[in-house]
Amino acid sequence: MKKVMLTLMMVMGIMITAQAQKPNKEEKREQKREEIKAMKIGFITEKLKLTSDEATKFWPVYNEFHAKMEKLHEERKVNHKKLKKGVDSLTNADAEKMIDQELVFEERELALKKEYHIKFKSVLPVKKVALLYQAEHEFRREILKKAREQHHNQQGGKPQGAPAGKPGMDDEE
């Protein structure tokens, strides 16, 4: 556990040092990703109350899973970029191909989740695996909430799409 916390503190120190330099847009995006990754590590570690032995076994498996999911999502983005032009600009054959590709991505994502569910159960007690899924969901909700708040603040305090003169309502999940 001490090793995990020490690693987390070192990552945060590196991020602070990197932020002292003037980054370009891509560097800022990468720094934000690294910051979120460090926050997620801390969040999951805290929620799962991992022992040092569990952490030593769990994090390599989780990082491998996360890297494969990121790769899959990057492949999926290529498909989604075509949609930015609009569905009306596609032929029926192209639209069908894109839908089929999306279903294949979803199948691959589910297969990856099933594969790593088994691996997670091999390094953690099943209740901690359940806590992992719960913690990931909770972390995503918190990140989305912070992003909405940041967007809200950048819009001068008025949530996007809110009628003039009426306060915005927070989404509840």
Closest CA to 170 of 140, 146, 134, 136: 146
Whether residue 66 lies inside any domain: the answer is: yes
Residue 57 CA, chain-centre distance (Å), reads: 21
List all residues 6 or more positions away from 98 whose beta carbon is below 8 Å from its beta carbon. Answer: 79, 82, 83, 90
Of 49-53, 61-65, 163-167, minimum mean pLDDT range? 163-167
The tally of domains found in the chain comes to 1
Of 26-35, 118-127, 129-138, minimum mean pLDDT range? 26-35
Q: Is the pLDDT of residue 46 over 80?
A: yes
**Domain assignment of residue 119, given as a range:** 2-20+28-144
User: What type of residue is 51?
Assistant: T
Q: What is the secondary structure of 48-105 as a DSSP string?
A: HT--HHHHHHHHHHHHHHHHHHHHHHHHHHHHHHHHTT-GGGS-HHHHHHHHHHHHHH
Mean pLDDT of 1-28: 62
